[in-house]
Amino acid sequence: MVENRSDTFDIGGKLTVHRLGFGAMRLCGPDIVGPPPDEDAAHDVLQRAADIGVDFVDTADSYGPGVNERLIRESGVTDETVVATKAGLLRNREGEWLAHGDPEYIRNQVLVSRDRLGVDEIDLYQFHRPDPDTPFEESVEAFAGLKDEGLVAHVGLSNVTVEQLETARDLVDVATVQNRYNPGDREADRGSDRVLEACEEYGIGFIPWFPLGAGDLGEKADVIERIAGNHDATSEQVTLAWHLQHSPVTLPIPGTSSVDHLEANVAATALELTDEEVTRLSE
């Protein structure tokens, strides 16, 4: 019986979730545009995730766009699952991701996301990416206002530096930070290792996106493969186990459109790496 055996984390000190979550982005069409080929299969993945104890799901208004949030509502898991969504990116027919942090746009999008998800209050609302054409403080203040109005319970950031995190913390209680992060990619340009350290200091949840690196973990790949052989596990399971043991505030959100792959990922929560193995992957 596969079940989510990861320990828990309190998002914003209040929302208790298992630390292994699910990233729903892949439940869309090609290039994350349009609906998936089989919407019933997408519903099955979300329902199975909830059945085996995955109670934290990450999405965004730009996934589809809009499709992903709708599928989550239709799957019927919003009552038993903490749903995190985002605003701050626009899409076009070419599949580009265009930063758009205008406060009025953010205030509009929270209403759209609430409607698609079928909720009165969004559990965790994240600023998807800083917009070079909009002052960062103005975007964050918009999110703070949504929290004050009771439209969102908690505010998160994504793709930020330590300096941006510190700026945001002066404006609103930051519950989570979501940055690109895996054993082979610490996103040096944004200093995600430093961001993780700051999250540990402040008790902020750190959500690594691209946690498996789509199978490309660079120079760490051979090390992970050897460790996987020692545990009769897959490289993906070792990578997820590393995320969970590397830091107590990390909330990995591997995504998939397959129930079998979902169950394999959740099985990683039963894998215990040695301290030496964790150190080798953390160096």
Active-site residues, by number, are: 63
Per the DSSP assignment, residues forming a β-bridge with 182 are 185
Say how far apart CA 245 and CA 100 lie, in whole Å. 35
Q: What is the DSSP letter of 12?
A: T
24 CB-near residues (< 8 Å, 6+ apart) = 46, 57, 58, 59, 63, 68, 71, 72, 255
Q: Which of 125, 122, 117 is nearest to 70 (CA)?
A: 117
Number of other residues whose CB lies within 10 A of the CB of residue 40: 8
Q: What phi, psi does 161 have (nearest 5°)?
A: -90, 170
> Cis peptide before 65, with omega less than 30 degrees from 0?
yes
- Are the CB atoms for 185 and 213 separated by under 8 Å? yes
Query: Positive or negative, the Cα torsion across 269, 210, 138, 92?
Result: negative
Distance between CA atoms of residues 101 and 104, nearest Å: 9
Q: Give kind and range of the element (H or E) at residue 261.
A: helix 259-267
> Which residues are 56's β-sheet partners?
82
